[in-house]
Amino acid sequence: MATRVYQVKGMSCDHCKSAVKKAISGIAGVKDVEVDLATGRVTVTYEGDLDDTRVREAVEDAGYEVA
């Protein structure tokens, strides 16, 4: 298992947190997603390879932006 941290812009409430978590959780290999609203940090725990492009697309599809 490995982790990667992303900075996500535009999150301001629990709905935002849930939407980002759900979007990233749907990516193959992702085991856990932790969202810190105060800092905008999203920590992704995964197995195997994690495609940053897929993470970025999932976040953007949910209506937010990866910095």
- Structure confidence at residue 34 (pLDDT): 98
Give the span between the Cα atoms of 49 and 2, in whole angstroms.
9
Give the span between the Cα atoms of 10 and 45, in whole angstroms.
22
Q: What is the pLDDT of residues 26-61, one digit of tens each?
A: 999 999 999 999 999 999 999 999 999 999 999 999
For the whole model, what pTM was predicted? 0.93
Residue matched to tokens 């749907």: 26
Complete domains list, the chain, with CATH: 2-66 (3.30.70.100)
